[in-house]
Structure 1
Amino acid sequence: MKVTVERAQLLKSLGHVHRVVERRNTIPILGNVLLRAENSRLSLKATDLDLEITETLAADVATSGSTTVPAHMLYDIVRKLPDGSQIVLEATGDRAVLAIRAARSRFTLQTLPESDFPDLAAGEMTHTFTLGAADVKRLIDRTQFAISTEETRYYLNGIYLHSAGSATNATLRAVATDGHRLAQIDLALPSGANGMPGVIVPRKTVGEVQRLIDDPEAAVTVELSLGKIRFTIGNVVLTSKLIDGTFPDYGRVIPANNDKQLIVDKHDFEQAVDRVSTISSERGRAVKLALASGKLVLSVTNPDSGSATEELEVDYAADALDIGFNSRYLLDIAAQIEGDVAVLRLADPGSPTLIQDKDSKGALYVLMPMRV
C-alpha cells in the first residue's frame, strides 16, 4: 500500500474515527484503525465491537492495499505534523510496519494484519429515513442530559427513539430518563419511518453522532433494524448495536392534571437558581421554590455554610406552594428551553412537575421533586 493524503483532511477524519477506540484494550486489534487505499480513496475504520465508524477521503493512491495501525498514536503523529504538508503512508507486505513521511519527518508504526480486524456485520436494515442534521442535533441536545449513567438499569443508558402520535399527527419521538427527570421531544415523522421498531440508542453512540454533525445543513440518513442502527453523514458511516432491553412505559410519569401554572422568564430563573445554589452542598443540591401570588422565592440552606434567598416576580395565580428540586437538574432543564419564557405546571410538593417552553416547540421535561 502506498498513498498520499493531505494532512488537514487526514487529521479531520482521524479525529472522527479515533474517538471510538478505547485507550485500554485487552484485544490489541481493537486499539488499531484499519486503513484501506483503493480507487483514489483512503478509508479509515475503527470499532469497539459495539460501535463502528468508517470515513472515506480523497487520496492519491499509488498502490492499493490495507493495514491496521494504533489509532491514537497515528492521530497524535498527524496532529503534530506541519500544517499543509502532504503525508505519504506506505506499507509493504513483507514487513509488519507502516512508514509515514511528511516534510522532513519519518515514522514507522507496528501494524497488525487486516484479516484480524473485526467487522460489525449490520445485517439487513428494515427501515431507512433521512433527517436534517439540525433536527438530529436537536433530538440529541434536548434529551441527552437525562440519559441514565446507572449501569444496573442498562435499558435507560440511551435515547429511546420511536414513532408516536396519531395517524394524522405522527411523530418521531426521542425520550430519555434517569428516574429523576425525563426529557421528550417530537419531530414530524420522516418518510420511511412508518412502523419502525422502538429502539434504544446507546449513550456513546449518541455522543459520537452529535460530534460528527458539523454542518447543520447536511442530511443524515438513518437505517435501523431491531438490533442495529446506522447513521450516514457525508463521508462518515457510523454503525452501532442497540441496547437490548425494554424501555419503561414513560407515559405514566408525564403528569396530565397539574393545575398550578408558573410562567417565568427563563434567563432570570436560570440565573437565580444558579446564584442561590452556589452555597448548596455537593450532596444536598436542594433548592426550595416558595410560590405565592405573583412571586417566587428561591432559597437554599446549607447547615455547613449558610443560606441564600432570591425573589423573582412571576406570573402565578394559584394557591401558595413550597416545593424542592435538585438545583443541578433544574439548571439542566432550564438550559434546554429554547425560548425566553418557561412554563412550569405543578401539583403538590410530592408530585412530578412538567416544564415546557411557552411555545412548546415539541419538547417537554418532567422533574421529580426533592424533600426540603
Structure 2
Amino acid sequence: MNIECIKEKLVYAIGKAERITGKNITLPVLSCVLLEAHNSTLTIKATNLDIGIEISIPVKVNQEGKIAVSGSVLYNFISNITNDKNIVLEEVSGNLKISTKHSESLIKTFPIDDFPNIPKVSKDKPFTFNVPLLIKGFKSVMYSSSVSTIRPVLSSVLLASDDDSVVFAATDSFRLSEKIVGVKKHKDFSQILIPFKNVGEIIRTLEDIKDDVNVYLNENQIAFSYNDIYITSRVIDGTFPDYKQIIPKEIKTEVIVLKQDFISALRISNIFSDKFSQVTFHIEPKNKVFKITTKNIDVGENVNNIDAVIKGDDLTISFNYKYIIDCFQSVDSDSISLSFSDTNKPMIIRGVGDKSFLYLVMPMNK
C-alpha cells in the first residue's frame, strides 16, 4: 500500500474510527483501524464487535493494499503534526511508514486476517431520519439508561415506530425518559434496543451532519449511512419494559414552576442533602406553598421556597436529587409542570406546552 492524502481529512476520519476500537487482550486486533486503499479512496474501518464503522476519504493511491495498525497510536501521531498539510502512508517491510515534509515514522502492524468483518445490513428499503432530530431524540433520553449491563434492556435506548413519529425511551427502573420525534417516512418496527454505549458513539459519529441519514434495520443490527460514513450497531434481543402502565392516569397535585427557578433551588438544596441525595418537596396548594427541604447532620439544613402555580391536594414526597436534575437538558420550555398522584407513585415532569417529552421519577422510600 502506498497513498498520499490531506492530513486534515485523515485526522477527521481516524479520529471518528479510533473511538470505536476496543481493548481486548485475547483479540488485540480490535485496538486497530484497518486501512484499505482502492480506486482513489482510503476506507478506514474499526470495530469492537459491538459497533462498527467505515469512513472513506479521497486519496491518491500509488499502490493499492490494506494494513491494520493501532488506532490510538496512529491518531495521536497524525493529530499532533502541525506544519505539514500532506501525508504519505506506505507499507514497508510489514510496518506502516508515515512520511511528511518534516518527519518520518514507522508504526507496527497487525495481521489483517484477524480483523473482524463489519456487519452489512441489507440496503433494501431504508428509511431516512434527519440527523439533528435523531441526535435530539437520543440525547433527550439516553441519560436514563442503566450503567449496569446486568439487565441489557435497561442499559439500552429504545426506538419504536408510532404512526408519523419515532418514540425514544430509556429507563434504569428508577426514572424513565420518553421523547417523541416526528418522522413522516419511516419503516414500521415494533422496537429496537441499542446499547447505551453505542448510542454515544453514533451521536459522535453523526453530529457534524445536518442532513438526513439512511437507516437500515434487521433483527440483529441497525445501521446509519451518509455519503462516505457507515456505522452499524448490534441491537439487544429483549423486550423493553411496558412503561405506559406505570404512568399515573389520575393527577391529584400539580405544580407549574419556572424551569430556571426550580433548577437553582434544587442545586442549593443539594448542598445540604444527605448521602442519599434526598430532597423533600412540601406542597400546600391552599397556602400557595411549594418548598424543598434538605438536611445533613454533617453540613446543616436548608429550606427553599419557590414561586409556583399550585393546585390539588397537599403532598410531602422525597426524591433523589440526581434523578431529577438530569432531565432539564431535555426540556425546551421555560416553565415545567410537576404532576403527582400519590406518595408511592412516580412524579411526571413535562415542559409546559410540550407533549413530546415525558420524564418519570420514582419517589424515595420513607
- Partner AA of 2:100 in structure 1: A
Match of 2:80 in 1: 80
User: Are the aligned partners of 1:353 and 1:367 in contact in 2 as well (CA < 8 Å)?
Assistant: yes
Counterpart pick for 1:141 among 126, 139, 154: 139
- Partner AA of 1:53 in structure 2: I
Counterpart pick for 2:153 among 131, 155, 177: 155
Please identify runs of 4+ aligned residues in structure 1 that moved more than 3 A: 122-127
Query: Does 1:202 pair with 2:188?
Result: no
**CA shift digits 1:178-224 (9 cap, x unpaired):** 00000011122442412x24110111210011112333522221111
User: Are the aligned partners of 1:126 and 1:225 in contact in 2 as well (CA < 8 Å)?
Assistant: no
Q: 1:146 to 1:272 in 2, by over 3 A?
A: same
- Partner AA of 2:153 in structure 1: Y
Match of 2:165 in 1: 171
Q: TM-score, normalised by structure 1?
A: 0.93
User: Cα offset for 1:360?
Assistant: 1.6
User: Cα offset for 1:55?
Assistant: 0.6
RMSD: 1.7
- Which of 235-244 and 262-271 deviates more? 235-244
Q: 1:24 to 1:113 in 2, by over 3 A?
A: closer
Match of 1:116 in 2: 114
Q: Give the whole-Å Cα distance in 1 for the aligned partners of 2:47 and 2:209.
A: 26
- Partner AA of 1:342 in structure 2: I
Counterpart pick for 1:231 among 224, 232, 236: 224
Query: Does 1:248 pair with 2:248?
Result: no
Q: 1:359 to 1:323 in 2, by over 3 A?
A: same
Counterpart pick for 1:296 among 286, 290, 294: 290
Q: Which runs of 5+ in 1 are unaligned?
A: none
Match of 1:55 in 2: 55
Counterpart pick for 1:131 among 126, 129, 132: 129
User: Are the aligned partners of 1:20 and 1:51 in contact in 2 as well (CA < 8 Å)?
Assistant: yes
Q: Give the whole-Å Cα distance in 1 for the aligned partners of 2:259 and 2:126.
A: 38
Match of 2:21 in 1: 21
Counterparts of 1:260-299 in structure 2, within 5 Å, are 260-281=253-274, 283-293=275-285, 294-299=288-293
Identity %: 28
Q: Give the whole-Å Cα distance in 1 for the aligned partners of 2:136 and 2:79.
A: 31
Q: 1:50 to 1:172 in 2, by over 3 A?
A: same
- Partner AA of 1:150 in structure 2: S
User: Are the aligned partners of 2:84 and 2:101 in contact in 1 as well (CA < 8 Å)?
Assistant: no
User: Are the aligned partners of 1:125 and 1:225 in contact in 2 as well (CA < 8 Å)?
Assistant: no
Q: Give the whole-Å Cα distance in 2 for the aligned partners of 1:280 and 1:24.
A: 41
User: Cα offset for 1:116?
Assistant: 2.1
Q: Give the whole-Å Cα distance in 2 for the aligned partners of 1:129 and 1:317.
A: 45
- Partner AA of 1:290 in structure 2: H
- Which of 150-159 and 114-123 deviates more? 114-123
User: Cα offset for 1:225?
Assistant: 1.0
Q: 1:216 to 1:365 in 2, by over 3 A?
A: farther
Q: Give the whole-Å Cα distance in 2 for the aligned partners of 1:29 and 1:329.
A: 39
Provide the secondary structure at the position in 2 that maps to 1:88. Answer: strand
Q: Give the whole-Å Cα distance in 1 for the aligned partners of 2:44 and 2:25.
A: 19
User: Cα offset for 1:288?
Assistant: 0.6
- Partner AA of 1:309 in structure 2: V
**CA shift digits 1:119-156 (9 cap, x unpaired):** 03335367621111111111111001101112221111
Q: Give the whole-Å Cα distance in 1 for the aligned partners of 2:209 and 2:53.
A: 20
Query: Does 1:308 pair with 2:302?
Result: yes
Q: Give the whole-Å Cα distance in 2 for the aligned partners of 1:336 and 1:5.
A: 41
Q: 1:223 to 1:58 in 2, by over 3 A?
A: same
Q: Give the whole-Å Cα distance in 2 for the aligned partners of 1:175 and 1:268.
A: 27
Q: Give the whole-Å Cα distance in 2 for the aligned partners of 1:362 and 1:38.
A: 46
Q: Give the whole-Å Cα distance in 2 for the aligned partners of 1:190 and 1:175.
A: 19
Q: 1:361 to 1:106 in 2, by over 3 A?
A: farther
Provide the secondary structure at the position in 2 that maps to 1:335. Answer: helix
Match of 1:363 in 2: 357
Query: Does 1:326 pair with 2:324?
Result: no
Q: 1:265 to 1:28 in 2, by over 3 A?
A: same
Match of 1:344 in 2: 338
User: Are the aligned partners of 2:21 and 2:71 in contact in 1 as well (CA < 8 Å)?
Assistant: yes
Counterpart pick for 2:329 among 319, 324, 335: 335
Q: TM-score, normalised by structure 2?
A: 0.95
- Which of 64-73 and 16-25 deviates more? 16-25
